[in-house]
Amino acid sequence: MIFSNVNNTLVARHQTELLCIEAWGQDALRVRATQYTDFTGRNWALSEEVPEEQRKAEITIDGNEKAVIKNGRLSIRVNGSGVLSFYRDGKLFLREYYRNYEGTESKESRCLKIVGRDYKPIIGGDYKFTLRFEGNDGEKMFGMGQYQQPYLDLKGCVLELAQRNSQVTVPFAVSSLGYGFLWNNPAVGRVSFGKNYTEWQAEATKEMDYWITAGDNPAQIIENYTAVTGRTAVMPESLLGLWQCKLRYRTQEEVLKVARKYRSLNIPLDVIVIDFFHWTRQGDWQFDSEYWPDPGAMCDELHDMGTKVVVSVWPTVDKKSIHFQEMFDKGFLIRTERGSLQTYDFQGDCLEIDVTNPKAREYLWEICKKNYVDYGIDMFWLDNSEPDFAVYDYDNYRYALGCALEVSNIYPQLYAKTFCEGMTALGREKEMLHLVRSAWAGSQKYSTLVWSGDVPSTFESLRDQLSGGLNIGLAGIPWWTTDIGGFMTDDVDDPAFKELLLRWFEFAVYCPVLRMHGDRGPHDIAPLSDKEYGGGYLYTGRDNELWSYGEEAFAIMKKQLDTRLSLKPYIAKLMKEASETGAPLMRTMFYEFPEDEKCWELNDQYMFGSDYLVAPILHAGEFEREVYLPAGTWKNLNDDKEYEGGQRVLCAAPIEMIPVFKRVQA
């Protein structure tokens, strides 16, 4: 290797590879490599200004044999063959996986001819890139966004790096060994957290780019990470109560009827959500005036009740939309490389808007401002924000920013940015929120509330959501919610579903946002119109309000909602903490108790902030469960009994409550 110190950056060259390592934040380094003569200059998720003192590194070069770069507690050693080894406070914790004749730290398996950074040329294009690290026995990995699986510890998992409905790729991992790793690359790919080695892959890229930091505990690691990728705003306390939604309110009178009933029952309704196909066609981004004759008056009445209004916006543009031809002519739509000009086929023949194009973002915002904001709509539900494709052939789609294989994962971040910048320009940055179905690293800075997608109404799915909510918080995104009861319900009258709904509601009380939503079957409600377009023709689901499931269920949910409302000041403090440090609201047990080894093994209970320990019921027919209490004194809120920590306790869990403990302050 030929080493040099260029403007406080360690630069190494070997044959056609250029390697660059530089200080980037608190106890953190950014590592890039390419086979081109220079880098693209894109910072991707690393969007925040870094203080000058955190951009200074100590660099030592020993001829062509080795070099070391150090920033605070983190250092990287590069040997003469370009193999990287990582140290925290001088102790090795990670090394590239390298099995070749030159540069191997040990002499085992040199004949395998495997290198840590592997570039496979794509004919006529860039590279498929693979990065490998040695495995660490006993290591646990967390974060990475939200995947539909019950595993909280991701060690041993293979994860697709791609956005799908209910799968949210946020490629930041927190290790039990005291480091955080950001794969700063929006390419479609895969990561394997294997026992023998870890392998990151990008299907198409021009360069390797990752960021790594060291810390004593997960809280410190996430604080370092969100300092360089951005932090969320403070969610207003007025949004921390009940959100009401269903598939779907078809008219403004249906919306007002629901809100009026909540008011008559003296139940505060913070937010009501208007779901999809309130529009004429996909891509028209406007109310169908036949069913929404006066959106301004509707919003005024809801605001008088103290209720904010959210409206659904999809990125899909039907070829019969009033905007399609103009958008197509201006190059504002995602392109297909071959076959038909179609990316989405639900209820129409559609392409999706290319939000990687700044001009397309401006175009979308101006329409939505005119047709929604100017009527009084408060916030947006950015559905299908992956974007959802009819067929996930990423190699068939192209954006202004590049081919989908290379850049697709950043789409939901830029979709939210569209509305964030628009609302900010109106001076509404302190009250905006964007409900999204997908996200990427840094999405949190655009006031995104991620919900877990169109998940099934099953206890198995509820278990998956718990793991997903905890891991996405560790990936830097603190605002997260679910469809209470799951999205896909066949029969609302099934007693098994009502049991699930209540258990899910009890869990959601201790989530960042409490939101009723779902597609409630059976679909036996006649459409309002026999036309093949517009707000009246599409099906709707059964009622989904608190009173829709019988008197017993209503009484239970009403009491649980009262608990939620009493927690509003506490949750508001957690929201402020999230904006200042990046701390998630839903926290793994080890986040709060990193010195307790048992807490690193728990995946069925969590901390809501630092005060409340929540043990949701995750199985049908379960009316008691064990709860592990860490060190300290804990008060069971269901019976007011106090317990000393360091033990497991068996707790009753009748249908109207789940075990919740509050930490007793000394």
**What is d(CA 283, CA 363) in angstroms, rounded to the nearest whole number?**
12
Give buried/exposed letters for 125-160 (b at 16+ CB in 10 A, else e): ebbbbbbbbbebeebbbbbbbbbbebebbbbeeebe
**Fold topology of 237-315+355-395+403-577:** TIM Barrel (3.20.20)
Q: Which residues contact 191 (CB under 8 A, 6 or more apart)?
A: 144, 158, 159, 161, 171, 173, 183, 198, 199, 200, 201
The residues pairing with 61 across neighbouring beta strands, listed in sequence order, are 67
- Check 96, 318, 383, 506 and give the catalytic one: 383
CB-CB contact of 371 with 425 (8 Å):
no
Best CA proximity match to 167, nearest among 422, 14, 483, 385: 385
The answer to whether residue 386 is catalytic is yes
The answer to whether residue 454 is catalytic is yes
Please report, as a single letter, which amino acid is at residue 218. Answer: P
pLDDT value of residue 665: 78
- The CATH code of the domain at 2-229 is 2.60.40.1760
CATH 2.60.40.1760 in the chain, residue ranges: 2-229
pLDDT value of residue 666: 54
**Integer angstrom CA distances of residue 656 from 31, 300, 500, 626, 653:** 52, 36, 12, 17, 8
pLDDT value of residue 109: 63
- Check 318, 352, 386, 388 and give the catalytic one: 386
Token pair of 227 as six digits: 């300092």
Three-class secondary structure assignment of 490-512: CCCCCHHHHHHHHHHHHHHCCCC
Q: Which residues contact 207 (CB under 8 A, 6 or more apart)?
A: 32, 33, 34, 36, 39, 40
pLDDT value of residue 102: 66
pLDDT value of residue 125: 87
Give the end-to-end CA distance of the chain in Å, rounded to a whole number. Answer: 57
- Check 454, 483, 506, 545 and give the catalytic one: 454
Cis peptide before 522 (omega within 30 of 0): yes
Q: 63 in helix, strand or coil?
A: coil
Integer-rounded Cα Rg, in Å, for the chain is: 26
**What is d(CA 447, CA 380) in angstroms, rounded to the nearest whole number?**
11
**What is d(CA 442, CA 46) in angstroms, rounded to the nearest whole number?**
8
**Integer angstrom CA distances of residue 51 from 26, 54, 302, 423:** 9, 5, 45, 28
Question: Model-level pTM?
Answer: 0.97
Best CA proximity match to 93, nearest among 152, 175, 29, 28: 175
pLDDT value of residue 104: 54
**What is d(CA 312, CA 319) in angstroms, rounded to the nearest whole number?**
20
Element (H, E) at 370: helix 358-371
CATH 3.20.20.80 in the chain, residue ranges: 237-315+355-395+403-577
Token pair of 303 as six digits: 């605001």
Give buried/exposed letters for 474-507 (b at 16+ CB in 10 A, else e): bbbbbbbbbbbbbbbbeebeeeebbbbbbbbbbb
CB-CB contact of 179 with 93 (8 Å):
yes
Its sign, for the CA torsion 374, 378, 384, 385, is positive
Angle among Cα 88, 476, 463 to the nearest 5 degrees reads 110
**What is d(CA 434, CA 450) in angstroms, rounded to the nearest whole number?**
8
Its sign, for the CA torsion 246, 248, 253, 255, is positive
The ranges of the chain with pLDDT < 70 are 102-109, 666
pLDDT value of residue 108: 58
**What is d(CA 16, CA 18) in angstroms, rounded to the nearest whole number?**
7
Token pair of 66 as six digits: 């080795």
Number of Cβ within 10 Å of residue 617's Cβ equals: 26
**What is d(CA 435, CA 452) in angstroms, rounded to the nearest whole number?**
11
- The CATH code of the domain at 588-664 is 2.60.40.1180
Q: Which residues contact 422 (CB under 8 A, 6 or more apart)?
A: 365, 368, 369, 373
pLDDT value of residue 100: 86
Identify the residue whose tokens are 């199985």.
619
